[in-house]
């Protein structure tokens, strides 16, 4: 069994401020973890993924996330928000045998204020 | 270009009128899946397919059917749509442990 909890359905930051989107997961097997971004009227795009190895992973558009097994967390961060980062963000977990059987969190809508 | 193509993008129908949403991928992916997205509920899996002729229920399969006769296609069938199936639907595909590739979505309204 696996599940994802995203803390905060809406996050608002000022342009240039730190972005922190929280994700906690549960999984009965070693997890694969993903962050996806959804812009209005579009499908989801992969931001970054953790499979094995280095626990700090870097993705597109300056985002990164750190896998912390002891905390069962995979929080997404970006040092400086840009207006174009406004979107909905989804954390997902899957077992290490098939990333297709992914379970998604409820999503966090990021608003960036000028 | 690698892509997942869904059609139609928008669909308005009436209760009980059978419909099919098509999904096709050109990446030779084994795995395909359908999700529905509703406000505050994230993405919930409807059905998935591990390969041709292999399908299984996801978390919310009631009222839906799927088939996988060819590797590239995975249509979603609503035999008798109801208003509670009004939603945004996404098809996705992947290979092994690779991330999901998503289509652009189908917004369905059932009146």
DSSP code per residue over A46-104: EEEEE-SS-SEEE-GGG-EEEEETTTTEEEEEESS--GGG-EEEEEEEEETT-TTS-EE
Nearest to A17 by CA among A75, A85, A89, A73: A85
CA distance A103 to B77: 22
Per-residue pLDDT, A53? 85
CA distance B99 to A74: 16
Q: Residue A71's pLDDT band (boundaries 50, 70, 90)?
A: very high
Contact A49, A76 (CB under 8 A): no
Q: Which two tokens stand for residue A70?
A: 């002891």
Q: Residue A1's pLDDT band (boundaries 50, 70, 90)?
A: confident
**Closest chain B residue by Cα to residue A106:** B42
CB-CB: which of A6, A102, A105 is closest to B100? A102
pLDDT tens series, chain B, 111 aa = 889 999 999 999 999 999 999 999 999 999 999 999 998 888 999 999 989 999 999 889 999 999 999 999 999 999 999 999 999 999 999 987 778 899 999 999 999
CA count, 13 A, side-chain hemisphere, B88:
17
Rounded to the nearest angstrom, the minimum Cα separation between B101 and chain A is 7
pLDDT tops 70 at residue A98: no
Per-residue pLDDT, B96? 75
Per-residue pLDDT, B99? 84
Maximum CA extent, chain B: 39
- Name the A residues in 32-91 with CB < 8 Å from any B CB: 32, 34, 36, 41-46, 49, 51, 90
Contact A64, A78 (CB under 8 A): yes
Per-residue pLDDT, B61? 97
Per-residue pLDDT, A97? 61
């Amino acid at each position: 069994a696996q599940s994802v909890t995203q803390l905060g359905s809406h996050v608002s930051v000022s342009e240039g401020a730190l972005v922190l989107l929280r994700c906690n997961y549960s999984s009965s097997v070693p997890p694969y973890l993903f962050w996806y971004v959804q812009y209005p009227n579009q499908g989801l795009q992969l931001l970054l993924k953790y499979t094995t190895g280095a626990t700090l992973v870097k993705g597109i558009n300056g985002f990164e996330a750190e896998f912390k097994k002891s905390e069962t967390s995979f929080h997404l961060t970006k040092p400086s928000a840009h207006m174009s980062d406004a979107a909905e963000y989804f954390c997902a977990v899957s077992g290490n045998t098939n990333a297709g059987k992914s379970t998604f969190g409820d999503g966090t809508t990021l608003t960036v204020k000028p | 270009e690698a892509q997942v193509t869904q059609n139609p993008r928008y669909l308005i129908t009436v209760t009980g009128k059978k419909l099919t949403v098509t999904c096709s991928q050109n990446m030779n992916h084994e795995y395909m899946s359908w999700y529905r997205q509703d406000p505050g509920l994230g993405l919930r899996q409807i059905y998935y397919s591990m390969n041709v002729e292999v399908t299984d229920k996801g978390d919310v399969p009631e009222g839906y059917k799927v088939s996988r006769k060819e590797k590239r296609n995975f249509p979603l069938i609503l035999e008798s749509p109801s208003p509670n199936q009004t939603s945004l639907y996404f098809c996705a595909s992947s290979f092994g442990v690779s991330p999901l590739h998503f289509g652009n979505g189908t917004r369905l309204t059932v009146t």
